[in-house]
Chains A and B, each alone.
Chain A
Amino acid sequence: MAIDSQTVAHIARLARIKVTDEEKAALAGELSTILQWIEQLDEVDTAGVEPVASVVDAVLPWRADVVSDGGQAEKVLANAPDGVPGFFAVPKVVE
């Protein structure tokens, strides 16, 4: 499947990555090439095959529903690029 600049703009928006118009055209070509190469998978008969999400057969383990960690706000916030003490700060989202 060939991807056009408009589709690139759409997925770049979904992925929250800014791309310029020039980049869109270049990316459309690159992504189309990769997708066309990927489409050789159509040759494989997968009728009735269950998709594999993980190779670990084990059922996810349960743990006790108790607080085992916490009270580390300072450590959690230590790497914030813009921090008001005690908070992550972002541009205004509500008027």
Chain B
Amino acid sequence: MTMAANLTDLTLAEARDGLVARRFSAIELTDAHVAAVEAGRPLNAFITETPDAARAAAAESDRRIAAGEARPLEGLPLAIKDLFCTAGVPTTAGSHILDGFKPPYESTVTANLWQAGAVMLGKVNLDEFAMGSSNMTSYHGPVENPWRRRGDNRPLTPGGSSGGSAAAVAARMALGATGTDTGGSIRQPAAFCGIVGIKPTYGRCSRWGIVAFASSLDQAGPMARTVRDAAILLREMAGHDPKDSTSVALPVPDFEKTLDQGVKGLRIGIPKEYRIAGTPPEIEALWQQGIAWLKDAGAEPVEVSLPHARFALPTYYIIAPAEASSNLARYDGVRFGLRVPGQTLDEMYENTRAAGFGAEVRRRVLIGTYVLSAGYYDAYYLKAQRVRARIVEDFRNAFEKVDAILTPATPSAAFGLDDKQDDPIAMYLNDVFTVTANLAGLPGLSVPGGLSAEGLPLGLQVLGRAFDEETVLRVGRQIEKAAGFTAKPAMAGGAA
């Protein structure tokens, strides 16, 4: 194995320690990843590659390491979801309507990462405006999952919306990536690509500078190959930001420190409503295996009830489109991005938005406009907000009895990019296990648990109390240890 292949196979924690011990340089580490990004182009994970800026940042990291001034993420190459505004670097949100947009400012989360010494490899692909579970709604084309079914070379979805992030990390193109999660957009692609992803508590990370989808649900989080790596990244991404009034002024714990404290004595909730008819037996089997792993490690499984969980998806499909229809009103062809001319100002708006938004975004903006429109606001929007209150209450009751909740991450393994996807509701069901955490604002982590019969990764989900990511990560770490998930995708480190 070459040195370069070795470097892209390191975990983020190993790379961090190797840099500080001077076993290799930040330039060598970045060059190895830049080469992997180039070799991995057939996956279509990156929309914009920034190798020159990456090398310049790595050179600065080498200088700092030599001077004994290494920061927490010094010299570690990351992929950034193209929903985070990055100063001077095109930011597309996977949409045609943001053609040519170069933000004059940096999102708080990415600014925090650069402040901590991380290196940006480029901007990664996503469903348009983060609306999707397959990466198939991106204007820049779908991303391919680096995994393949055993004995079957047909391309699979990496999941979505953070599909480029998940594919880049799984394929060893980046040590870690940023994602965002509005209904499952970190956890579902993490599960489909066999990596770890955590959506922290709403308010843990600043939303400032992240292209808004549904503001009461959106939250940024890290995606990485180990729970430890996710913990390291989350600590640097998180924190109070006066520019986001919903970001919370709480201290950010050193998540890595408490990671290995085990689960002895923890009560783990098993929600009975998550047994859904039609879920493949191997998903149910993995769930039971996860319960057994935690029990073996000294945790106590406790059945809990989330009676309104089954209403979470329809609730989400009122609230998220309503907020999106409002947030996406800014794309008007006047101040940035695409403009399609018209005779009048209104015609210019209508032409621009018809050409600039893809089918799924248009569908959601129209649904959102409808549920907010005169005569329907109470029946749909207020009703959904009331059901949301019920869902919040369900979790409050459950967390009086348990310290964390264990569920499957997704109702299936990754599906084929060629599988017919003409039923929007069937696609929405991808988020059936993840969406509750967004509505309740709670932290949720997806961790690989094993492989399906076809050889594809399957994930388990750990949910926790608000601002208790420490317990969520601890439980995730225990599952990771028990699962011993070492399988690698067909395409990793650029090698097919």
B274-312 CB mask vs A (1 if < 8 Å, else 0) is 000000000000000000000000000000000010010
Contacts of B390 in A (CB 8 A): 44, 46, 49
Residue of A8, A41, A63, A88 with highest tally of chain B CB at under 10 A: A41
- Check A49–B389 contact: CB distance below 8 A: yes
Task: Give, as a whole number of angstroms, the nearest-CB distance from A39 to chain B.
Answer: 8
- Check A27–B389 contact: CB distance below 8 A: no
Determine the distance from Cα of A51 to Cα of B383 in the docked complex, in whole angstroms. 8
Task: Tell me if B202 counts as interface (CB < 8 A to partner A).
Answer: yes
Task: Give, as a whole number of angstroms, the nearest-CB distance from B283 to chain A.
Answer: 22
Contacts of A38 in B (CB 8 A): 314, 317-318, 380
Contacts of A80 in B (CB 8 A): 334-336
Determine the distance from Cα of A55 to Cα of B396 in the docked complex, in whole angstroms. 12
Task: Tell me if B333 counts as interface (CB < 8 A to partner A).
Answer: yes
Given known pairs A56-B248, A58-B248, the reply for A51 and B353 (CB within 8 Å) is no
Contacts of A34 in B (CB 8 A): 317, 363, 367, 424-425
Determine the distance from Cα of A39 to Cα of B466 in the docked complex, in whole angstroms. 30
B381, closest chain A residue (CB): A51
B33-61 CB mask vs A (1 if < 8 Å, else 0) is 00000000000000000000000000000
Given known pairs A40-B314, A51-B385, the reply for A93 and B345 (CB within 8 Å) is yes
- Dominant SS at the A interface? loop
Given known pairs A15-B353, A27-B363, the reply for A50 and B389 (CB within 8 Å) is yes
Task: Tell me if A12 counts as interface (CB < 8 A to partner B).
Answer: yes
- Check A79–B317 contact: CB distance below 8 A: no
Contacts of B365 in A (CB 8 A): 15, 17
Question: A residues touching B (Cβ–Cβ < 8 Å)?
Answer: 3, 7-8, 11-12, 14-19, 27, 30-31, 33-35, 37-44, 46, 49-56, 58, 60-61, 63, 72, 75-76, 78-82, 88, 90-91, 93
- Check A55–B392 contact: CB distance below 8 A: yes
Contacts of A60 in B (CB 8 A): 245
Contacting residues of chain B (445-480) with chain A, CB-CB under 8 angstroms: 466
- Check A41–B311 contact: CB distance below 8 A: yes
Given known pairs A31-B370, A34-B424, A56-B441, the reply for A88 and B354 (CB within 8 Å) is no
- Dominant SS at the B interface? helix
Given known pairs A18-B350, A27-B363, A54-B216, the reply for A37 and B440 (CB within 8 Å) is no
Q: Which 7 pairs, one residue from A and one from B, show the smallest C-beta to C-beta distance?
A: A55-B441, A51-B385, A79-B336, A46-B386, A81-B339, A18-B350, A18-B354
Given known pairs A17-B357, A46-B390, the reply for A61 and B383 (CB within 8 Å) is no
A68, closest chain B residue (CB): B242
- Check B242–A63 contact: CB distance below 8 A: yes
B348, closest chain A residue (CB): A91
Contacting residues of chain B (95-124) with chain A, CB-CB under 8 angstroms: 100-102, 104
Given known pairs A79-B101, A80-B336, the reply for A54 and B348 (CB within 8 Å) is no
- Check A78–B104 contact: CB distance below 8 A: yes
Contacts of B101 in A (CB 8 A): 79
Contacting residues of chain B (49-93) with chain A, CB-CB under 8 angstroms: none
Contacts of B259 in A (CB 8 A): none
Determine the distance from Cα of A15 to Cα of B441 in the docked complex, in whole angstroms. 28
B228-241 CB mask vs A (1 if < 8 Å, else 0) is 00000000000000
A12, closest chain B residue (CB): B366
Task: Give, as a whole number of angstroms, the nearest-CB distance from A79 to chain B.
Answer: 4
Contacts of B342 in A (CB 8 A): 91
Task: Tell me if B346 counts as interface (CB < 8 A to partner A).
Answer: yes
Residue of B311, B338, B343 with highest tally of chain A CB at under 10 A: B311
Contacts of B202 in A (CB 8 A): 55-56
